[in-house]
Amino acid sequence: MTVDASPANAYLRTKVLTASPEELRLMLLDGAIKFANQGREGMANRNYEASFNGISQCRNIVLELLTTIKPEFDPELCDRVKSLYTFLYTQLVESSMEKNISKLDGVIKLLQYERETWVLLMAKLAEERGLKPAPTEPPKKPTLSLQA
């Protein structure tokens, strides 16, 4: 087996290995959204291979999120979150089989909402711990303005 030693893969590997559990979950949510959008784009363009690949990757991430919930901390909340991820997984399967973009759009919307909620929770946890919140958005490029 060969290992891809590209700088991008090395960066991603380091990022994953050094991330907190909260950051790892955010990375999973980002990946799920990215792949769901790729699947949607493939479906909209009738590129069913791209659609299948994107939706399958998203489905795998949702399954990972579902199976890594730790109910010992708050069983009732965990049951609700498991129900959400089970619903998302089912919607992904159905949207893929039915070639239904509106179901996929619903999944994307819920994943984006879940991401926003998670970012807020991460900020609250950082505040409680007395830490500076980690950036959750890619840095924006500075704009230059020429004023006289």
**Is residue 146 very low, low, confident or very high in pLDDT (cuts 50, 70, 90)?**
very low
**Rounded mean pLDDT of the chain?**
87
> Do residues 110 and 84 make contact, with C-beta atoms less than 8 angstroms apart?
yes
Tell me, what's the pLDDT at 5?
64
Sign of the dihedral defined by the CA atoms of residues 78, 84, 90, 93, in that order: negative
CA-closest candidate to residue 22, choices 142, 136, 138: 136
Sign of the dihedral defined by the CA atoms of residues 30, 36, 39, 41, in that order: negative
Q: Does the domain formed by 20-124 have CATH 3.40.50.300?
A: no
